[in-house]
């Protein structure tokens, strides 16, 4: 949509973010900053590190998006360059030659099972999603606003959310 200018802009933003995160991590290592406990403990993970990345552009559908697969690749590249990740699973709707890698409802549920299977104390499980989301009525009363959030799979018209 924005061509080379949009790509340059996105690359500039990604580089700035990577620089700032690198500066922050360097400051943290020197004891000059604080961050949330989850981030602080990332370097102290003693077990396996598994990551699930899902990006859905909804090609050819109403509400088609343009940057979700790029988001997945950028976040995955950042994490794998800066942290040890032992196992990675990527579901994106541009992997049409491999139906198991498409972000269908069935594959997303299987991917969540893959992510949590065998998890134990000391492991780090990473999940990144870029795509449409929705909400449905909360049926168990755990949401203050009365709504549960949902992910919208690529096959939502057939399989629901």
Q: What is the pLDDT of residues 78-115, one digit of tens each?
A: 999 988 899 999 999 999 999 999 999 999 999 999 99
Q: What is the pLDDT of residues 38-47, one digit of tens each?
A: 444 555 678 8
Given a contact cutoff of 8 angstroms between Cβ atoms, the answer to whether 78 and 72 are in contact is no
Q: Which run of H or E residues covers position 52?
A: strand 49-55
What would the mean pLDDT of 42-61 be, rounded to a whole number?
Answer: 88
CA 89 from centroid of its chain's CA atoms: 10
Apex CA 45: angle with CA 42 and CA 46, to 5°?
A: 170
Q: 113-134 b/e with 16+ CB inside 10 Å = b?
A: eebeeeeeeeebebebbbbbee
* Residue 137 bridge partners (DSSP): 147
């Amino acid at each position: 949509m924005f061509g080379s200018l949009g790509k340059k802009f996105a690359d500039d933003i990604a580089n700035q973010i990577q620089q700032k995160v690198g500066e922050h991590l360097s400051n943290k290592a020197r004891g000059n900053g604080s961050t949330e406990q989850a981030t602080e403990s990332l370097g102290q993970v003693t077990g396996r590190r598994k990551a699930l990345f899902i990006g859905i552009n909804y090609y050819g559908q109403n509400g088609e998006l343009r940057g979700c697969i790029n988001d997945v690749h950028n976040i995955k590249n950042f994490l794998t360059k800066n942290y040890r990740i032992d196992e990675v699973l990527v579901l994106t709707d541009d992997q049409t030659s491999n139906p198991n890698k498409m972000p269908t409802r069935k594959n997303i549920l299987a991917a969540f099972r893959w992510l949590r299977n065998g998890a134990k104390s000391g492991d780090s499980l990473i999940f990144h999603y870029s795509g449409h989301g929705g909400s449905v009525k909360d049926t168990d009363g755990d949401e203050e606003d009365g709504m549960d959030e949902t992910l919208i799979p690529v096959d939502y018209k057939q399989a629901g959310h």
